[in-house]
Amino acid sequence: MLYATVHKVSQRKNAVIMPDVKNGDQPPICSGVIFNRKREKINGRTRNKNAPESAATADASEGNNSSEMGGLRTGFIIVLTSDAIIAVRFLIHHIFSLGGCALHFSLNLKENLFNSITSFGGFLLEAMSSLDIAVIVSELSKILVGGRIRNIYQIDGIFIFRIRAGCEDFHLLVEPGRRIHLTWYDRVKPRFPPPFCMTLRKHLNHGRILSMQQYDFDRVVMLSIGLAENKASLVFELFGDGNIILLDGGGKIIAAEKYASMKDRDILPKKEYFFPPSRGRDPRSMSFEEFREVLTKDKRSVAAALVRSISIGGVLAEEVCVRGGIDKERDVGSLSDEEVHALFKALTEILEEAVGGKGSPSILFRGEEAVIVSPVKLKTYSGEGFLWRNFESFNRAADEFYSKKEELRVEEEKGKKKREEEDRFQRMLEAQRENLQRMIEDEERYRRYGNLLYENIYTVSQLLEAVISARKKNYSWQEIEKKIRSVKERNPVAKIFAGVKPREGRILVELDEEIIPLDIKLSAVENANSFYEKAKKATAKAERIKKVIEETLKKMEEVKEKEREVQFMLRRRRKKKWYEVYRWMVSSDGFLVLGGKDAKSNIALYKRMEPKDIFFHAEVHGAPVVIIKTEGRTCPEGTLKEAAQFAVSYSRAWKEHLLQADAYWVYPDQVSETPPSGEYLPKGGLMIKGKRNYLRNVPLELSVGVIKEEDEVKVIAGAPSAVSKKTSIFAKIKPGGLPSSKLAEAIRSILAKKAPQELAEIILKIPLDEFQSVLPPGEGEIIE
């Protein structure tokens, strides 16, 4: 398929102003600007239609505005995606062969644009090609068909399908419009799934995957899913903005991520789903005769014809030319039958390598930057400066490539949001400081007015009395002002008069070069006191504004702290050890201590007990089964105490905010899940026989820390003495008032502050649910 997005732009002088590319659009690899040649009136001025027009294909900075940049002209910018790369070379060639009569590019754009495409083949783009998808589907079909969908997650625009196939859990990642592959990275999942995700869960959870196929070598993948009573299908559209559509057994739409009415089809509820129109032939099913017929109908360059006529992308078209020994810029009409056959053979060879599993899935690096992922090694990029890294499967390669790109993209978006947030607070702070300065100036002015009035109280009183007397005699304000000004030179009282404000019922006096308004309804003393009162109010307002400024500064610091703490990083999913399905710790003496999480895991632990193990239980209703795996060794007293603390801390006693509780231990042969005759045990209950060995008044305290194990950072929890033996980076907790989510956040923050910088960065990127999962049920607080 060929894809290009067209954006309306404007130009001032040599800068093109382009709106932000919408989410889901492909990032530009190259662009050309097409401007109108006709005259335009800009701010009342007419631009000469024959004036030279030039345009740089760089976004204008925010500082550029209309007053600085001169006349505006509008046009369109074409942003090309991967499969359009070869075709655009053909476009560029013809653009510049037009002699510039309609299109203008500046700064040697033809050369720069052409070289950019020729040198890099579009590998900066991050959307899968049809061939990529074919290889992915081929690999996935062997793994996932027959598996069951266990759960579905939606993280912004990414969907994760957890699928149990064989004896293993797989995570299928689908990003509509961009990619599909298995992922071995964990992502932070939202607490509340979006509505569309809930719809998918409702219809598909526990469904069995019957088949997985690519539609017509297009960027469309379809899952057929068997449900309890019927079937459903899930369509992943990986072109354009992308979409996920859920279909019933009859092919009608149940729900879609995006609804739309289009020229050739509708994506609407209860409508029949139609695949998008095919854009080219499937090269896998073409004979040589069909290939020759399709190719030779095209009159363009070889590479452009391969892209346009056959469903392969620009990168693959270049590779076909390189392997076939044909110059990609040659006209198709100049090819001999032997040369066409060489191209067909090269294409067949690449397809067999990729889809037939004979290729070498790889990522191409240029320096440290991963620039392309491919199911086969491309001879086009075998020169100096390029390095290929091999992977065992294309799913592995795609996951590594796209996940790292995702990480960069999210960090860029977060950086943008951070700057916007900082700018908002900065504007707020500037306004608050301006208000504070105004209040300080008001306080000083009003107090000065009051002081001046008291210093001249006799003269001011006389002037006020004269004005009040004249008003009582029905003199107009104009007459009063005229009369006072007529005697101003010889009358000391009149000398301070500066004017009148009839509508406000005030006069103005000038004292020590200050113009002061006076209310004629008030005496001189009352006017002075009113200014003192205003000064007090201004002072009070200033104090309030100072507090608001402090709050704003605090919030700004919190934003910076949050940005430091909540960084985005994909963590490779760790293969957990068998005991990590339970609560667990390693005692200070090196004994593995395990605890149940519910009735089912309690029974599972009971069944895992060996003759020399030790069984622990808190003397509290609703406590977990805890066992010490001794492996035949004698258990030290320290481990017994730590196991007791582990048992009481994960019991209901924590939720009830108890600070101490009792626990006991027995040997495995004293524990049974079979009650005596005539008695009943609840689900998950166990019967204890014989002597119980008690540990009294065991404190409810745990420590949560992190350890580095096999190049991975792991969250651990347990008795404080056991955790402190393993790591110095821990926080001690007890029952308290913080909800587990807030407690987990506080613990992560404290651990990061205790850790060296490199480890702190990793800790801050560990999802909160990993910390929350090791906490006892209920609220708590940090004590150390």
Domains, the chain:
4-120 (no CATH), 130-267 (2.30.310.10), 283-390 (1.10.8.50), 395-570 (no CATH), 578-782 (no CATH)
Percent of the chain's residues with pLDDT above 70: 83
pLDDT single digits (tens) 224-254: 999 988 899 999 999 999 999 999 999 999 9
Per-residue pLDDT band for 569 (boundaries 50, 70, 90) equals low
The C-alpha atoms of residue 618 and residue 638 are separated, in whole angstroms, by 17
Task: Give all strands (DSSP E) within 81-205, no chain letters.
Answer: 148-155, 158-165, 168-175, 179-182, 185-186
Question: Sorting pLDDT into bands at 50, 70 and 90, what band is 71?
Answer: very low
Coil, strand or helix: which one is 751?
helix
pLDDT in tens, 162-204: 999 988 999 999 999 999 999 999 888 888 899 999 999 999 9
pLDDT at 124: 42
Alpha carbon 753 to its chain centroid, in Å, reads: 24
Mean pLDDT for 607-622 is 93
Mean pLDDT of 441-450: 96
Average pLDDT over residues 437-460: 96
pLDDT of residue 411: 80
* Alpha carbon distance 214, 139 (integer Å): 12
Q: What per-residue confidence (pLDDT) applies to 667? A: 96
Place of tokens 């598996």: 147
Q: Is the pLDDT of residue 489 over 60?
A: yes
| pLDDT of residue 464 exceeding 90 | yes
**Residue 495: Cβ-neighbour burial (10 angstroms; 0-12, 13-18, 19+):** middle
Residues forming beta bridges with residue 712, ordered by sequence position: 709
User: What is the predicted pLDDT for the residue at 86?
Assistant: 37
Least confident of 86-95, 465-474, 610-619: 86-95
Per-residue pLDDT tens digits for 102-130: 333 333 333 343 333 333 333 344 689 99
pLDDT tens for 378-426 read 988 887 788 999 999 999 999 999 998 998 888 888 788 888 888 999 9
pLDDT of residue 769: 86
Whether 8 has a pLDDT exceeding 70, the answer reads no
* Contact assessment for residue 344 and residue 310, using Cβ atoms and an 8 Å cutoff: no
Model pTM above 0.85 = no
Q: Name which of 321-325, 654-658, 708-712 the model is least confident about.
A: 708-712
Lowest model confidence (mean pLDDT) among 166-170, 182-186, 547-551, 677-681? 677-681
Q: What's the pLDDT band for 548 if we cut at 50, 70, 90?
A: very high
pLDDT of residue 26: 35
Q: DSSP characters for 571-601?
A: EEPP---GGGGSEEEE-TTS-EEEE-SSHHH
At residue 689, the 3 state secondary structure works out as coil
Query: In the prediction, which pLDDT does 45 show?
Result: 37
- pLDDT given for residue 695 in this prediction: 96
One-letter amino acid identity for 241? D
Residue 355: pLDDT band (50, 70, 90) is confident
- Cβ neighbour number for residue 264 with a 10 Å cutoff: 8
pLDDT tens for residues 715-768? 999 999 999 999 999 999 999 999 999 999 999 999 999 999 889 988 988 888
Mean pLDDT of 37-45: 35
pLDDT score at 307: 86
> pLDDT tens digits for 288-337?
999 998 888 878 899 988 888 887 878 889 999 999 999 999 998 899 99
pLDDT at 50 over 50: no
Report yes or no: 703 and 749 within 8 Å, Cβ to Cβ. no
* Whole-angstrom distance, CA of residue 482 vs CA of residue 485: 5
Q: Would you state the structure tokens that stand for residue 453, as one six-digit string? A: 């009035």
Q: For the ranges 158-167, 186-195, 340-349, 439-448, which has the lowest average pLDDT?
A: 186-195
- The 10 Å CB-count burial string (b at 16+, else e) for 306-335 is bbbbbbbbbbbbbbbbbbbebebeeebeeb
